[in-house]
Amino acid sequence: MTEKNVVTAIHDTLHEIMAEDERVVVLGEDVGVRGGVFRVTQGFLEAFGEQRVIDTPLAEGAIVGVAVGMALHGLLPVAEIEFADFIHPAFDQMVSEVARMRYRSNGDFGLPMVVRAPWGGGVHGALYHSQSIEALYGHVPGIKVVVPSTPVDASGMLRSAIDDPDPVLFLEHKRTYRLIKGEVPDEPFRVPIGPADVKRAGTDLTVVAYGLMLHLCLEAAARLQEDEGASAEVVDVRTISPLDKETILGSVRKTGKAMVVYEDNRTYGAGAEIVATIAEEAMFDLDGPIVRIGGPDVPAMGFATNLEHAFLPDADRIYARMLELARF
């Protein structure tokens, strides 16, 4: 085991996989000479050459669309969208092509490809370097959407994503990149796409989260235990689509109380689907109202520090709502 942060775990895993399997190529803006703006592909050009480490033009539609072609013809492309915010020009390729290729061909064609994108706020990214996109693609059947939030999950799920015969949108919360550290096995391992993970066991209430919010929830849950003796179970969603309803519902049925935290705009966010699932399937196991914390319904967080803080849920707010729910 070696302690790594999230970005190093992703870098090392991708490097290992490229060394193991020559079908794997990476493509995107600045992935080559620059080694990626977040340094995920640092040293890749020197190790694997410019045919497999492809600096593309500034054209997100083509980054995804070219990856589709590569996946159709024997390669395993890992496309990088420099910031999740910039995936919108590729929306048609993602929705009309990536998500629908297998379905529309009645199973004749499949797309073993990964699209990586750093997402989320808390880095002074303002309107166009902070967005959450998981709900946009979680709504589209045919694409798997994953949001690993720890070094070990990022590493193990990246391996699963590249192994997967279907397209995976691999979302990396950029605030976690260097903030979150953890032990990562030195030998190759996989964390499956699909199952959620109970990151902290508890008995009094269930908190469901992912990304940066997961870590704020874990922090708040620790305080709640220490200050109030209340025990919160924290479920890490890990895979937005297909959603692991059973783990979430199992925890809610056990604790009888549910809270969902996400930083995306509250309305129609991924958390809305999780809340709806709990309401539909665990209503009579609940001992309190379902609590939902999300970002406000404004287009994005601001650049100014206080505007960014005002947008993002923080550990204090989460703690206060946890306490309220625990006491209900």
Partner 1 sequence: MATRVTTDTSHEALGLSPEDLLSMYRTMVTARVVDEAAFRLNRQGKAPFVVPVSGHEGCQVGTAWAMRRGRDIWLPYYRDVGVVLVAGMTPMEIFLGLFAKADDPSSGGRQMPSHWGSRRLGIISHSSPIASQVPHAAGIAYAVKLRGEEAVVGCWFGEGATSEGIWHEGVNFSGIHRLPVVWICENNQYAISVAQSKQMAIADVADRAEGYGFPGVVVDGNDVLACYAAMRRAVERAMAGEGPTLIEAKTYRFFPHTSDDDDRTYRSREEVEAAKHNDPIHRFEHHLRDAGILDPERVAAIAAEIKADVDRQIERAWSAPDPDPSTLERHVFHEGDPA
**Nearest distance, CB of residue 165 and partner 1, angstroms:** 4
Q: Which residues pair with 183 in a beta bridge?
A: 3
In whole angstroms, how far apart are CA 98 and each of 10, 103, 105? 23, 10, 12
Does the protein bind partner 1 through residue 67 (CB under 8 A)?
yes
Does the protein bind partner 1 through residue 68 (CB under 8 A)?
yes
**Catalytic site residue from 129, 139, 173, 309:** 129
Name the one range near partner 1 by CB under 8 A: 7-15, 116-124, 136-144, 273-281.
Answer: 136-144
Tell me which of 24, 71, 208, 218 binds partner 1, using CB under 8 A: 71
Are 199 and 225 contacting, i.e. CB atoms less than 8 angstroms apart? no
Does the protein bind partner 1 through residue 33 (CB under 8 A)?
no
Classified as helix, coil or strand, 88 is: helix
DSSP classification of residue 204: S
Does the protein bind partner 1 through residue 72 (CB under 8 A)?
yes
First to last CA, the chain: 42
Distance CA 269, CA 208 (A): 13
Identity of the residue, 118 or 167, whose beta carbon is nearer to partner 1 in the bound complex? 167
Tell me which of 75, 146, 154, 191 binds partner 1, using CB under 8 A: 75
**Nearest distance, CB of residue 29 and partner 1, angstroms:** 13
Does the protein bind partner 1 through residue 74 (CB under 8 A)?
yes
Are 176 and 212 contacting, i.e. CB atoms less than 8 angstroms apart? yes
**Nearest distance, CB of residue 87 and partner 1, angstroms:** 14
DSSP classification of residue 95: I
**Nearest distance, CB of residue 30 and partner 1, angstroms:** 16
Beta strands in the chain (DSSP E): 2-5, 24-28, 53-55, 76-80, 114-119, 144-146, 168-173, 181-184, 197-200, 205-209, 232-236, 239-241, 258-265, 291-295
Name the one range near partner 1 by CB under 8 A: 37-45, 56-64, 199-207, 216-224.
Answer: 56-64
Does the protein bind partner 1 through residue 25 (CB under 8 A)?
yes
Does the protein bind partner 1 through residue 96 (CB under 8 A)?
yes
Q: How far is CA 137 from the centre of its chain?
A: 11
**Is there a catalytic annotation at residue 129?**
yes
Does the protein bind partner 1 through residue 92 (CB under 8 A)?
yes
Distance CA 102, CA 96 (A): 11
Identity of the residue, 24 or 234, whose beta carbon is nearer to partner 1 in the bound complex? 24
Does the protein bind partner 1 through residue 109 (CB under 8 A)?
yes
Quote the tokens at residue 172: 């990396």
Give the total of residues touching partner 1 (CB under 8 A).
44
**Nearest distance, CB of residue 53 and partner 1, angstroms:** 12
Are 215 and 176 contacting, i.e. CB atoms less than 8 angstroms apart? yes
Are 217 and 261 contacting, i.e. CB atoms less than 8 angstroms apart? yes
Are 147 and 177 contacting, i.e. CB atoms less than 8 angstroms apart? no
**Nearest distance, CB of residue 264 and partner 1, angstroms:** 24
Distance CA 293, CA 107 (A): 39
Does the protein bind partner 1 through residue 21 (CB under 8 A)?
no
Show the binding pattern over residues 160-199: x = contacts partner 1 (CB under 8 A), - = does not: ---xxxx---------------------------------
Helix pair 151-163, 6-20: axis angle to 10 deg: 30
Residues near partner 1 (CB under 8 A): 25, 51-52, 56-57, 59, 61-62, 64-75, 77, 89, 92-93, 96-97, 100-110, 141-142, 144, 163-166
